[in-house]
Amino acid sequence: MLYEELKDIQRKFGYLPAAELESLSKRANMPLYRIHSVASFYPHFQLNPPAKADVRVCADMSCHIRGGCELKDSLQARFAGIPDQVSVRDISCLGRCDGAPAYMLNDKIYFGLERAEVTEMIRSVLVGETLPPETVDERRPAEIRCDPYGDGKEKYGALRRLVRTKDWDGVCAVLKEADLRGLGGAGFSTEMKWQMTRRQPGPEKYVICNADESEPGTIKDRFIMQHIPYLLIEGMIIAGFVVGAKKGYIYIRHEYTHQEHILEREIHKCYREGLLGENILGSDLTFDLEVFVSPGGYICGEESALIEAMEGKRSEPRNKPPFPGQAGLWMKPTVLNNVETFMNVPVILGNGVEWYNKVGHGGGKGMKFVGVSGRVRNPGVFEVPMGTPTRDVILGLAGGPLPGHEFKAWAPSGPSSGYLPAHMVDVQLDFKSLGALDSMLGSGAIVVCDETTCMLDMALNSSTFFRNESCGKCVPCRIGTQKLVDILMGWTRGRLTTGSAKEELELLDELSDAMKVASICGLGQFTPYPILSVIKHFREEIDAHIVKKTCPAGVCPMRG
């Protein structure tokens, strides 16, 4: 309720006036400091009146190397004389990596426009004209191979069969045989996670879908919700039946308004057809589902921080154990998986575990959705068999590097996975193969770099993202991310914080070890990976900056 009250106030006034927060405090019988602590935590809420044209340009990875910095600089120069009318600043990833550069104008997201078009849109706001609808990727796939209902079969077939049989044990057995693992980053066994919640006592349990994909480069869940939302919803209902939960939530990032509306329509349809609510399909089974819109912030992608947000608190990770499967939402047992994981449940049950186990390549199982962005000709989301060589995706489906440029490096899963050199492009896209390279499959967010990219600059960009998105709860992350940014910022300018390059690298190693060991959650633990991977695979670029005081790519503003 607190979030909805704050959203209503911001919709009415454009920000959160102090008087309105005081009124809310009295109305809700809630201390003002608590309301303010929540309102000041989330980037979606504004405590001060915004400019008439509030422009925020995405600053992360894909937009960073596809013109985002240039777009921001040109807009700042163009409207420098009227700061009270036009505000231009950075914003963290908007989830439009395949349309980079993306920007937000008065809470609406756009991409694919020339600078002149963006300038004209800002001018139209200043004279009181209404903004056009958000830019939406209207590309539709000709076929989604994994969809068990793609040939015209009645949707929710796996659910209909399960309502008749109530074979919950059979579902767990199939998921175990298929070895379905979490496809949002961690890769944890889905069957084990469900069994943990299933074994917990008590009648009140929950199912939550984490649709808050906020890490740069990550766009495949957006694609799934837009094109096959019924598979996600079916997977969640099945999860509810198996673990004994009667309530589910889809936690979606607030930048995904289009996908939110698609899910709402599909949920309403399910209620009309008796697939949700009480006495589902004439049985004694009950499951309700609703969409919860995130108040914003990358940290909300951490499962316990997401739960804290749903409870109306600051999105700060909990100490574990207990795990959400034991004590999650409202301290009740909670199954929490991401979009692609839930989607795969009806895929496996509908197509059969034998199909799922055979469709992959080189020991990989099932199909995998991967997002490709950055310096490629054809950015987008592609469905490939698990275990597909990365070469087939980057140089094949994504069209390879831009005309006249050379493929230099790639991140297999956004900044958390670090960067790999182009000669490793034949590695298979699966958990084991990428793990062997000290990287990870993660969420399948491939970001491609070419020879115009400075890898130290990319490591700094990734570290800056983590610094900006840290919740600040634990010291290793709060202080460590800032210290790491300071070190890398110095390197990009040819400066050292210690006496020598050797001491500098030792300092970075010590800092990285402390963050990986002592940070509460993955944000702090994975922050060092981008620079550590660059030191490992692109050491000559590091030496050029901190020893020779030059940037080989000509990107960094070397000042000695």
Q: What is the pLDDT along the chain (560 residues), one digit of tens a residue?
A: 788 899 999 999 999 999 999 999 999 999 999 999 999 999 889 999 999 999 999 999 999 999 999 999 999 999 998 988 999 999 999 999 999 999 999 999 999 999 999 999 999 999 999 999 999 998 889 899 999 999 889 999 999 999 999 999 999 999 999 999 999 877 899 999 999 999 999 999 999 999 999 999 999 999 999 999 999 999 999 999 999 999 999 999 999 999 999 999 999 999 999 999 999 999 999 999 999 999 889 999 999 999 999 999 999 999 999 999 999 999 999 999 999 999 999 999 999 999 999 999 988 999 999 999 999 999 999 999 999 999 999 999 999 999 999 999 999 999 999 999 999 999 999 999 999 999 999 999 999 999 999 999 999 999 999 999 999 999 999 999 999 999 999 999 999 988 788 899 999 999 999 999 999 999 999 999 999 999 999 999 999 999 999 999 999 987 54
CA distance 329 to 344: 24
CA distance 38 to 431: 37
Is the distance from CB of 421 to CB of 535 less than 8 angstroms?
Answer: no
CATH class of this structure's domain 53-126: alpha beta
Q: Which residue, among 214, 215, 216, 213, has the nearest Cα to 232 in the 3D structure?
A: 213
CA distance 280 to 178: 27
- For position 559, what pLDDT does the model report? 55
- Do the domains spanning 53-126 and 455-546 agree at the CATH topology level? no
CATH class of this structure's domain 455-546: mainly alpha
What single-letter DSSP state applies at residue 394?
Answer: I
CATH class of this structure's domain 157-354: alpha beta
Q: Locate 247 and state its tokens.
A: 């309530």
CA distance 513 to 286: 48
CA 71 to chain centre: 23
- For position 560, what pLDDT does the model report? 41
**Residue 150, Cβ neighbours under 10 Å: how many?**
11
- For position 239, what pLDDT does the model report? 98
CA distance 217 to 417: 11
Q: What angle do CA 62, 66, 70 make, to 5 degrees?
A: 120
Buried b / exposed e along 360-392 (16+ C-beta atoms within 10 A): bbeebbbbbbbbbbbbbeebbbbbbbbbbbbbb
Q: For strand 206-211 and strand 102-105, is the pairing parallel, antiparallel, or unpaired?
A: unpaired
Is the distance from CB of 192 to CB of 201 less than 8 angstroms?
Answer: no
Domain positions in the chain: 2-39, 53-126, 157-354, 363-448, 455-546
CATH class of this structure's domain 363-448: alpha beta
Phi (first) and psi of residue 209, to 5 degrees: -100, 125
Q: Which residues contact 183 (CB under 8 A, 6 or more apart)?
A: 338, 340, 341, 344, 368, 443, 444
